[in-house]
Amino acid sequence: MKLSMFRLSYWNRRGSSFRSSPSLDPTFDGKSPSSVFWFVIHGLCCLISLILGFRFSHLVLFFLFSTSVTNLYTTPFLSAGNSGVSQLLRLKPLETVTNSSAKKNSRVVVGRHGIRIRPWPHPNPIEVLRAHQLLVRVQKEQKSMYGVRSPKTVIVVTPTYVRTFQALHLTGVMHSLMLVPYDLVWIVVEAGGITNETASFIAKSGLKTIHLGFDQKMPNTWEDRHKLETKMRLHALRIVRERKLDGIVMFADDSNMHSMEVFDEIQTVKWFGALSIGILAHSGNADELSSVLKNEQGKHKEKPSMPIQGPSCNSSEKLVGWHIFNTQPYAKKSAVYIDEKAAVMPSKMEWSGFVLNSRLLWKESVDDKPAWVKDLNLLDDNEEIDSPLSLVKDPSMVEPLGSCGRRVLLWWLRVEARADSKFPPGWIIKSPLKITVPSKRTLWPDSSSELPAAIKEAKSDTKPRGSNSKSSKGKQEPKAFNGVKVSTTS
Amino acid sequence: MLSLPSSFLGSKPSHTYPVDMKILSCLSAILLFLFFSASFAEQNVRTERISGSAGDVLEDNPVGKLKVYVYELPSKYNKKLLQKDPRCLTHMFAAEIFMHRFLLSSPVRTRNPDEADWFYTPIYPTCDLTPTGLPLPFKSPRMMRSAIQLISSNWPYWNRTEGADHFFVVPHDFGACFHYQEEKAIERGILPLLQRATLVQTFGQRNHVCLDEGSITIPPFAPPQKMQAHFIPPDIPRSIFVYFRGLFYDVNNDPEGGYYARGARAAVWENFKNNPLFDISTDHPTTYYEDMQRAIFCLCPLGWAPWSPRLVEAVVFGCIPVIIADDIVLPFADAIPWEEIGVFVAEKDVPELDTILTSIPTEVILRKQRLLANPSMKRAMLFPQPAQPGDAFHQILNGLARKLPHDKSIYLKAGEKELNWTAGPVGDLKPW
């Protein structure tokens, strides 16, 4: 009990005052000859210790009474005050001092004990391994007790096509999916047919994948791209229906960013759920974006609307409507072509914000398939489908997830490179890279003059010029930079 | 069930139908029963029921089993002390104050002392605090003596049994020995006037002078709201193997070590300070409670006294307590099966603590965690305000109820005296 030590220290500090008032300290009355004798010995030992400078008395008594103290290995002897002698004298069980003679002798002795240290106080590797196995087992048990009871398979639908940033985007999605603790089926639908590049990429994940090809090539405008992606997703849903895959279908676009909690959250969906997505309508041009926002604030003098698309509920947590990203401020300035340097706008309701139970898509009437869902086959091309809400006859039956849309668990982002950007297939470079900046004696102090040369080299390298630009090292006057602009050329 | 259709087919339908229907209905009843019991068992496999040595006593309701009469003492014994120092309400000895408040409004309280089974004296002996907040026990024996003199002269109930049907709450370090240093406490022994009374105390060690046989051991007070404010979701994985925060050496009072905690805490430090499985240090982190909820084992070694609030905290946060205190008597030991919940390590085995803990079978550890997850276990360790069923107040009353009915021999004949009113150190005899 660590508080007693403060009390003891207090008592020690106030010891003199207590001793002066014998009424308070009851232990000092009734001086017997034996106590006087011990007092004299104590004083003698104190004097000797003062002279010799270490706890001589402690050592003497320690060796005298070593049978009763468990004398193992080491006992740290620190030089300190000699208040411990009186305690040492009481190493033997206190039979003479106990009040009631009828008490049995306790095994536990009051007084100083040795500090047991084993000769090799370091961890045994086998025990460490066992401890880690215990930790894993305990965590598994915790998960089964408090986590999701009977987890369902997650069926992820991702439309993709081969382009510069495909590796960038797919790596992100792939790594997120590899961390998902549930069974997973990844349906990758590729525009332009199945390519080896994509196939080898997703094979690296080790996940169960279904790689589908879609025969149209990805068009160049965002609008058309959205439409094609919709068709690709519906194609994937038809495969789910044909193969009667059981689980929860979620739409992970390849450039989206998912937090791991989204996979835990979607396990709670019964039939059709809606999540909140954070919309990152980002353009390469930071100045333009800030000017857009300033204009919006100036005009309306109200809080900028939140960049979130998702369900909104009333106070009793029931779904009452949808919150949609306000594309007004970007009306004139949004990107039309995929490689434009303007902000990319999401469609009204992005597919990735919805999850559905795969049984909704099955052909036969599953027992409790709700009546408010349209059959997938009847949708074909007759209507304009822009979001999974078209599948639902009664939108009020949609379940809001993520504490009713208040938790944003995934983010929508569209970043693409220029359409004519060149990149090595599979990002594997066959021949060594060409030198653009020859290495000097390194270090940075001189490099400010080197940097403009490097950028100039990089720029000049892409233009087909015959002359080698290696001669321009160190001779350039440093240009004024406001910051190095990173172009989206590869 | 498979044999039935053949019997159906092979038998004449007229008179064998009723027999077969009976068999069918019996079997279906058995199957239904098994199905329901299996589903109940599945629910129960998550948290196990605690069964104490006397049955499921944790959930007993003491109301109706006993009656307690609360003496009216002048406020210098209770309220004035509290007014002088309100810190008495938050330190680990606050159980005495909260027990008084609980009894005042409890249904077991009776205003008629003639029908009472137990008598309670509302006195706060541990409410004399130093400026740093630690209780000084020097005046407590005199205070207790003066209170007993008061109740024995104003009411006849003390003298009729010399206190054998009275109980006192003495949550100090060594109970009714009223001293914080163990040797001095042993020297004093239990206050002579309290030798026949039942003591409700936190200290418990077998074969020790300061633990009387009929005493009830209770947990130290730990603030329930403060602990409940620090709960984290239970699905956060437990990633610390062994956790401990506290002193290993008491440099103020025991600089060389070996005296504090009988050398056990120092042994833990010297042996395991470099062991990555042991998260032990003397820090005071703000995330102490949260860290306990992320640990599998929490060490509860003795200090200057064998008990500590760490046991309560470990139980509330679901961390398996590793009790390193020889011969300790744990709270409510007759109602809570501590061997099944905690791990006991002898002080001499401390250097092998890592071997001991890693050699516990996985199933045993999981079972201990399930038992700890039982909410009745956590409730029994706490003193919530206001009192709730199954909490420590009720466990104390249950303990008192289990000691009823009183043996007829406690009632003294007229003129018979058992207690020696002049026993004890001279200093105790001075009036308070």
Q: Which ipTM score applies to this complex?
A: 0.79
The DSSP 8-state label assigned to residue B247 in this structure reads -
Q: How confident is the model at residue A53 (pLDDT cuts 50, 70, 90)?
A: low
User: Would strands A399-400 and A257-258 be described as parallel, antiparallel, or unpaired?
Assistant: unpaired
Q: What is the pLDDT of residue B423?
A: 79
- The pLDDT value recorded for residue B31 is 65
Low-confidence ranges of chain B (pLDDT < 50): 1-14, 38-45, 53-54
B304 in contact with A at a CB cutoff of 8 Å?
yes
Is B272 in Cβ contact with A87 (below 8 Å)?
no
Nearest CB partner across the interface for A135, out of B241, B263, B425:
B241
pLDDT at B245: 95
Q: How confident is the model at residue A20 (pLDDT cuts 50, 70, 90)?
A: very low
User: Which DSSP state fits B57?
Assistant: G
pLDDT at A188: 93
Between chains, do A139 and B239 touch, taking CB under 8 Å as contact? yes
Distance (Å) from the alpha carbon of A60 to chain B's nearest alpha carbon: 16
Contact across the interface for B271 and A118, Cβ inside 8 Å: yes
pLDDT tier for residue A76 given thresholds of 50, 70 and 90: very low
CA dihedral A87, A91, A93, A98 (to 10 degrees): -10
What is the Cα–Cα distance from B263 to B233, expressed in whole angstroms?
Answer: 37
Percent of chain A scoring above 70 in pLDDT: 64
Question: Where in B60-191 does DSSP place strands (E)?
Answer: 68-70, 118-120, 166-170
Percentage of residues of chain A with pLDDT beyond 90: 13
User: What's residue A455's pLDDT?
Assistant: 53
Chain A residue with Cα closest to B93: A3
Which of these, B429, B428, B421, B414, lies nearest to B159 by C-alpha position?
Answer: B414
Average pLDDT over residues A15-32: 44
Q: Whole-angstrom Cα distance, residue B42 to residue A144?
A: 13
In the prediction, which pLDDT does A259 show?
Answer: 92
- Test the B interface: residue of A4, A23, A107 with most B CBs within 10 Å: A4
pLDDT in the model for residue B160:
87
Helices (H), B45-119: 79-84, 95-104
Of A271-280, A457-466, A470-479, B187-196, which range is least confident?
A: A470-479
Q: How far is B22 from chain A (nearest CA, A)?
A: 34
Pairing of strands A319-323, A308-313: antiparallel
**Which DSSP letter does residue B68 get?**
E
d(CA A249, nearest CA chain B) in Å: 25
Distance, in angstroms, between A178 CA and closest chain B CA?
20
Of all residues in chain B, the percent with pLDDT exceeding 90 is 46
Query: With an 8 Å Cβ cutoff, is B178 touching chain A?
Result: no
Tell me the mean pLDDT in the region A209-233.
89
Residue A323: the pLDDT is 84
pLDDT recorded at residue A17: 40
Measured between beta carbons, the chain B residues lying within 8 angstroms of A134 are 241, 296, 358, 362, 365
Rounded to a whole number of angstroms, the distance from the CA of A275 to the nearest CA of chain B is: 22
Query: What is the pLDDT at residue B271?
Result: 92
Mean pLDDT of A321-328: 80
Per-residue H/E/C for chain A: CHHHHHHHHHHHHCHHHHHHCCCCCHHHCCCCHHHHHHHHHHHHHHHHHHHHCCCHHHHHHHHHCCCCCCCCCCCCCCCCCCCCHHHHCCCCCCCCCCCCCCCCCCCCCCCCCCCCCCCCCCCCHHHHHHHHHHHHHHHHHHHHHHCCCCCCCEEEEEEECCCCCHHHHHHHHHHHHHCCCCCEEEEEEEECCCCHHHHHHHHCCCCEEEEEEECCCCCCEHHHHHHHHHHHHHHHHHHHHHHCCCCEEEECCCCCEECCHHHHHHCCCCCEEECEEEEECCCCCHHHHHHHHHHHHHHHCCCCCCCEEEEEECCCCCEEEEECCCCHHHCCCECCECCCCCECCCCCCCHHHEEEEHHHHCCCCCCCCCCCECCHHHHCCCCCCCCHHHHECCHHHCEECHHHHCCEEEEEECCCCCCCCCCCHHHCCCCCCCCCCCCCCCCHHHHHHHHHHHHHHHHHHHCCCCCCHHHCCCCCCCCCCCCCCCCCCC
pLDDT of residue A93: 36
Alpha carbon of B134: minimum distance to chain A alpha carbons (Å):
6
Q: How far apart are CA B182 and CA A170, in angstroms?
A: 69
Chain A from 396 to 455: CB within 8 A of any B CB: none
Arithmetic mean of pLDDT over chain A: 72
Q: What is the reported pLDDT for B349? A: 92
Q: Rounded to an integer, what distance in angstroms lies between the CA atom of residue A156 and that of residue A423?
A: 28
Chain B residue with the nearest C-alpha to that of A122:
B275
* Partners of residue B302 in chain A, C-beta under 8 Å: 1
A 19-78: CB under 8 A from B = 22-27, 29, 70, 75-78
At residue A474, the pLDDT reads 41
CB A445 within 8 A of CB A350: no
Shortest CA distance from A133: residue in chain B: B362
The alpha carbon dihedral of A355, A361, A362, A368 has a sign of: positive
Question: Is B358 within 8 Å of A110 when comparing Cβ atoms?
Answer: no
pLDDT higher than threshold 80 for residue A235? yes
* Highest mean pLDDT pick, A215-224, A434-443, B100-109: B100-109
Q: Is the CB of B256 less than 8 angstroms away from the CB of A87?
A: no
Q: Which of B136, B238, B256 to mutate to test the interface with A (most CBs of A within 10 A)?
A: B256
pLDDT, mean of residues A20-35: 53
